[in-house]
Structure 1
């Protein structure tokens, strides 16, 4: 029997087969058996995070320390370094699980939150990942617009950035890793050139009093939100790597350094720019029109036409960040309801992009407050999520990745009910809410200490999960 017209020998439409032949990833959220975990390019786990963060995204985050929180460059740098060293640990540790289990990060979470209650962290993680994409899209859009602010608006720049990123995330795992493996090179060159031309003004720092504990903890919580949220996606990029013949410490270090090394210098650079921007009239005027993109334009202005070329590279540097975000959020959406698992990732990428562009345009209108609120709030739920998954693996599964049984990954009756995980997370709110310090709410504890909501979320959730999960296992008679 010959295949029907327009259908290949494998029974799929010709157009779809051409996409597969081009390298598009067909697998979505299904577990990857050991036999299919064949990649030995473990350095990809360094470059995928190193490249996605070696872009303009950390710069405006760093600017908040001096420009909005009123901290000195010295104090900002110390806070950035300390909190980065600390909060890169949980996601780097969690990333080992993708290689060892062959399970996406939120599929692993089903072994704590259950088949149905996982919907709560799914929605929160999808919102978080999309939020980071919004920030990257705004930064890229501002940079493109700064080339010709009279004729190209930030909104147009956002649309251009999103559409280019869509193509990379569409192809999937191999394309994402290939893009991230090499594009750090032009990103790094462009950033070094920008600092080389504009760095002569960075010493013009505003004089501010020594930072208070409240400022330190509030900005530290924001940095925690920047890093610890990778715990919701990190395993998505290691599930095809071969777990045999490589140490877990090596994988941990690849991921840890991939997160840490590009971020700290660029966050500190952002803090330096934020401290100087009000003292450099051309920077200040450009920042009021096109944000960090305008500042970068002024830094590169002495380079003339070459400077504009470098600025284009800087604008494109955020593509790697948006691409991996869209890749993960499409996987999250596939898990929401059983029917969605049959819908290909690129449909969800399209839908997400359709929502993301107007939200990015809106966020760009109130840039600093949008950044502060987003980065701080996401740290709260991510602290709960990371604590649950780490306690589950270390205490209850005793670091035995074989207990994540592929046979039950989609069977609600055999997975934990998730009451312990969600109960511990919600229970932590009793101390998280009083410890919050946001522009729209400051809790009674935070009034004295600064924002300690993230610390409360991580520690209290972990402490509550221990007895809650023990009781859940005792009542069920098994994990």
Structure 2
């Protein structure tokens, strides 16, 4: 263009020849570039098809593809997601509600036994239906209105990833003695989790199958080193109903959200296996490690103020600092154990990130053409900076986050359970694979969303949080998640009958 302007708009022969030669070179380069791009795409596609990376997204898994028989993986994946520092961190919150160790242990045991049944049960629907958890939700919330619980689920799962990255980053920082900041530790945790979740179902299951073993060993060593200090429990007042129920809400908020991703881990399992046995595998994987480690967390939390070294470590890097102080007598080996403890969190965050990638495609169906593993990169890019920000006031961020997730997830699972057992009469063949993405063949979702929303007329007065305490909660303690579950299930029955009558779906 510059040559044309220079010669008054008339293109000279020399310039034309140079332009033609440049065009030939450009076309050759474009051709080589195009060939290189095609070759690269073919190599990546070949690697994916022959390697461990799962390309399937949210599409239903057909019966002939549900051939996996490693049913004990339903135990190991939950065990690996819970044998780490996350339940210890939740247990640390117990003493803040004025509860002693005995009271914390009883609350943890009861609420874990009660609420773990929900994710363990919903996970048994995966092999029978071949549907991911939030795709199953379309058969009650509808094709479009399911976006509401999907958005809430994305926020919940991302929040858990943030918590895990912060805990892991703080542990790594505590080991380094300040030479490595929590922010750098958070980046390390995020990238490592990305590598596992990127590959998908098979690699995730293989990792979760074995990763809990070194995690368990590291936790036992930490407990052994700091065991004598656990007896130094700070004195507490008598337990109150409000303290018991509020801490119970914390336990429920830890456990119930697992139900929103339970079937994501079982859709490839052969449906011929007993649902009862599969439920027991999942229930054991959820309850046993969670109860033991939450009680350990409550014991640590009750002893922090009695041991100056622990209190100092807690003040510097919170959970990581306490663990480093507990293991300080072991010297360099103790630091190594703290590093292992931080890496134990990868089992949880990798599985959580895997489910997030699926939820992206459910939220925006047009994204189904993008391979699932690409969203792992997007999630990591979101989680890392949010985690760095949240790390500055970790426990305040944790309690504010927990304050919300238990309520909506309790309402959500109530709808799924009533829909399956009452309106579908427990029949798995009613989840038609040809209908999963067709709005006219799915319920409107008005009944599900309305029942969930209306339940908050009683949930809100039953909430007890730092920023709000309802009139019911003032007298009885936080019973918000119980109200959400019971009221939503009760309201969904008549509303769904009316929806079926008027819509025929």
TM class by shorter chain equals over 0.9
- Cα deviation for residue 6 of structure 1 reads 5.4
Matched, 1:43 2:72: yes
Matched, 1:362 2:405: no
The 8 Å contact of residues 129 and 326 in structure 1, kept in 2 or not, is answered as yes
- Cα deviation for residue 359 of structure 1 reads 1.4
Provide closer, same or farther for how the CA distance between residues 477 and 15 of structure 1 changes in structure 2, counting only shifts above 3 A: closer
Aligned residue among 214, 219, 234 for 2:262: 234
Matched, 1:438 2:465: yes
2:483 aligns to what?
Answer: 456
The 8 Å contact of residues 54 and 202 in structure 2, kept in 1 or not, is answered as yes
- Aligned residue pairs total 472
- Calculate the TM-score normalised by the size of structure 1: 0.97
The 8 Å contact of residues 69 and 219 in structure 1, kept in 2 or not, is answered as yes
Gaps of 5+ in 2: 1-33
2:235 aligns to what?
Answer: 207
Whole-Å separation in 2 of the counterparts to 1:303 and 1:22: 41
- Cα deviation for residue 7 of structure 1 reads 4.3
The 8 Å contact of residues 176 and 323 in structure 1, kept in 2 or not, is answered as yes
Whole-Å separation in 2 of the counterparts to 1:4 and 1:109: 44
Q: Deviations over 1:128-151 (max 9, x none)?
A: 111111111111111100012321
Mark the structure with the bigger radius of gyration: 2
Aligned residue among 46, 52, 63 for 2:92: 63
2:351 aligns to what?
Answer: 324
2:334 aligns to what?
Answer: 307
1:259 aligns to what?
Answer: 286
Matched, 1:374 2:372: no
Residue aligned with 2:131, SS: coil
- Cα deviation for residue 4 of structure 1 reads 6.2
- Calculate the TM-score normalised by the size of structure 2: 0.92
The 8 Å contact of residues 200 and 373 in structure 2, kept in 1 or not, is answered as no
Q: Deviations over 1:395-450 (max 9, x none)?
A: 11111011000010000111001000000000101001111111111111111111
The 8 Å contact of residues 6 and 14 in structure 1, kept in 2 or not, is answered as no
2:55 aligns to what?
Answer: 26
2:16 aligns to what?
Answer: none
The 8 Å contact of residues 55 and 373 in structure 2, kept in 1 or not, is answered as no
Residue aligned with 1:406, SS: coil
Gaps of 5+ in 1: none
Whole-Å separation in 2 of the counterparts to 1:362 and 1:58: 22
4+ aligned runs moved over 3 Å, structure 1: 3-8
Aligned residue among 176, 179, 183 for 1:148: 176
Aligned residue among 105, 113, 128 for 1:77: 105
Whole-Å separation in 1 of the counterparts to 2:148 and 2:342: 34
Greater fraction of residues in helix: 2
Matched, 1:247 2:244: no
Whole-Å separation in 2 of the counterparts to 1:50 and 1:306: 25
- Cα deviation for residue 347 of structure 1 reads 2.4
Whole-Å separation in 2 of the counterparts to 1:111 and 1:4: 45
- Cα deviation for residue 338 of structure 1 reads 2.3
Matched, 1:198 2:223: no
Aligned residue among 105, 114, 133 for 1:105: 133
Residue aligned with 2:333, SS: helix
Whole-Å separation in 2 of the counterparts to 1:248 and 1:94: 10
